[in-house]
Structure 1
Amino acid sequence: MTALICDAIRTPIGRYGGALSAVRTDDLAAAPIAALMGRNPGVDWAAVDDVIYGDANQAGEDNRNVARMAALLAGLPVDVPGTTINRLCGSGMDAVGMAARAIKAGDYDLAIAGGVESMSRAPFVMPKAEAAFSRANAVYDTTIGWRFVNPKMAAEYGTHSMPETADNVAADYGISREDQDAFAARSQARWQAAHEAGIFAE
């Protein structure tokens, strides 16, 4: 079976602490699904086999399976399931790939796939005491990077965040800022050419 993208929709990209910071993460996740339903009134939405969302944080309003919450908040029928996956920065893309593979395998006929993240609304978290009457305390900011680090992981592999890893990769492989800008410009030019050629036309 062939997997096809029948429609695509997204929210605007927001800045940290910007215009979208007042929007709950689960509401942000529901918005594209609701818009998709409004734009395609002829679809039998009860026939959706799964809603698959990628989400890297899952420490705040996106906890407890945000894909399922988004489906319900958007107004999908209650018997449409949802699952949330985490491959960190690749989570949303992996969700789309998972849906495509399920369709190609014949497991699904119709799926909604995407991702959600709100760094602005990522909470602070606090671990429980490790011993009775402990006075030790810690607070972690879940906006980016590790928390509750296993010392063995830190010793064996390091616990660099994604921005730190990007710097390391650039240094290790000699990728300059000019190289990165040229790659981005080339990608944009290719998209523009494809757009003008009607590749993405409905």
Structure 2
Amino acid sequence: MRDAFICDGIRTPIGRYGGALASVRADDLAAIPLRELLSRNPRLDPGCIDDVIFGCANQAGEDNRNVAHMATLLAGYPQSVSGTTINRLCGSGLDAIGFAARAIRAGDADLMIAGGVESMSRAPFVMGKASAPYQRQAELFDTTIGWRFVNPLMQQQFGTDSMPETAENVAELLNISRADQDAFALRSQQLTAKAQRNGILAQEIVPVQIIGKKGGGQRRSRGRTSAGGDHPGAAFTAKNPVPQGRRGHRRKRLRS
């Protein structure tokens, strides 16, 4: 069996929910690093790419249908380059890389692009259809995060906790305090800021041009911060997880 190698990697910045990247569609955002891959690898013939695989967990709005192929076309790739979108929720982008690597190792492909895209800021509200004619009990859901159109049997047998509830359950189970989480989050922000100052991420991150916008996900830290404004009884807060807006949009190019 052949080996698969990651030859290049690039991503957009990570924005926070409703932040600087909120005006950018997911398919347009995904096209940016795809376009940059061709720019930084001028000897690469895009027609030789066997497939483009993206993970996308929402797919309820502008990222609907097959966002991988839409982004490929928007980036100027030939129409002959196919695209596939997969969903393993938060593991979708990493799983896309696994799919590409397995295809190469099996001999089904020689050159693949894999990654992920998400824009929670632009996730739409959706309304289901009535279950019978002339009924008016259709429900409205916010698709930003969590379940919608829940099967009653799923709720009854397994529950439908979303990420915030699950994080709270895990914190209670493993006795992880809010102070510990805040300290971990602060350290993560500080390490990111240090890496950016030292140019470690310069080759990895491609800028996104936003006219008249500023802000973003990584916040400069000046010491320990309080989590004011969040639920006082919650260990897990919106200030200490990874930003939930526009994810890393990692793009990996693999070949045998």
Deviation readout 1:81-116 (Å, 9 max, x if unpaired): 110010101101111111111111211111000000
Query: Which residue number in structure 1 is paired with residue 53 of structure 2?
Result: 52
Deviation readout 1:108-127 (Å, 9 max, x if unpaired): 11100000000000000000
* Farther-moved stretch of structure 1 (16-25 vs 99-108): 99-108
* Farther-moved stretch of structure 1 (9-18 vs 130-139): 130-139
Q: Name whichever structure is richer in helix by fraction.
A: 1
Query: Which residue number in structure 2 is paired with residue 154 of structure 1?
Result: 155
Query: Which residue number in structure 2 is paired with residue 25 of structure 1?
Result: 26
5 Å matches for 1:1-202?
A: 1-177=2-178, 180=181, 181=183, 185=187
The structure with higher relative contact order (CA 8 Å, sep 6+) is: 2
Share of identical aligned residues, percent? 66
Residues 85 and 131 (structure 1), Cα distance of their counterparts in 2 relative to 1, 3 Å cut: same
In structure 1, what residue type is equivalent to 2:41?
N
Q: What is the Cα deviation at residue 23 of structure 1?
A: 0.5
Residues 105 and 178 (structure 1), Cα distance of their counterparts in 2 relative to 1, 3 Å cut: farther
Alpha-carbon separation, structure 2, partners of 1:106 and 1:71: 23
TM-score by length of 1: 0.88
What SS is found at the alignment partner of 1:163?
helix
Residues 58 and 98 (structure 1), Cα distance of their counterparts in 2 relative to 1, 3 Å cut: same
Alpha-carbon separation, structure 2, partners of 1:46 and 1:175: 50
- Structure 1 ranges of 4+ moved more than 3 A: 175-186
Q: What is the Cα deviation at residue 162 of structure 1?
A: 1.3
Alpha-carbon separation, structure 1, partners of 2:185 and 2:25: 34
Alpha-carbon separation, structure 1, partners of 2:177 and 2:104: 40
In the alignment, structure 1 segments of 5+ residues that lack a partner are none
In structure 1, what residue type is equivalent to 2:65?
R
What SS is found at the alignment partner of 2:6?
coil
- Two-structure CA RMSD over aligned residues (Å): 2.3
Alpha-carbon separation, structure 1, partners of 2:167 and 2:174: 11
